[in-house]
Amino acid sequence: MEETKLLEGTTQEKKDRIGFAQIMDGSFLSTTFFRQQYKFMLLIVVLLIFYIGNRYSMNAKIAEVDRLKQELTETRYEALVQNSNLMQESRQSHIRQLVEERGLDLRETTLPPYHLKVKRK
């Protein structure tokens, strides 16, 4: 009797082993292991789908961050150029040249600035 149980156990192990031919024809899906674990495998497939979707959305966000960094760099350079132009336009020599070109009746002061001193009580 023990011999029959022992023989049945070895035949059951042989049936549970999955070979290349069983994978190719799909019969491995009908084994007891897969019938018992189908919920777990379904959970794994759902988690894989979420993982792939999350990775896709993160790649899109990383691309957007890179684009915004590039735009920020370009805007900083533009601000530097505008600041340089403003400094050039507000120089005393440039203002003198503009006054002369337009024929305005303005003169440059020859007196240096002085400070007013106020007495405090």
Q: SS3 helix, strand, coil % of the chain, rounded to 5?
A: 75, 0, 25
d(CA 108, CA 35): 97
Residue by residue, DSSP assigns 14-29 as: HHH---HHHHHHTGGG
For residue range 87-112, list pLDDT tens digits in order: 988 888 888 888 889 888 888 888 88
d(CA 16, CA 66): 52
pTM: 0.50
* Residue 114 pLDDT > 90: no
First to last CA, the chain: 122
* Residue 7 pLDDT > 80: no
Mean pLDDT of 6-21: 62
Q: What is the pLDDT of residue 47?
A: 97
Structure tokens at 66: 């890179």
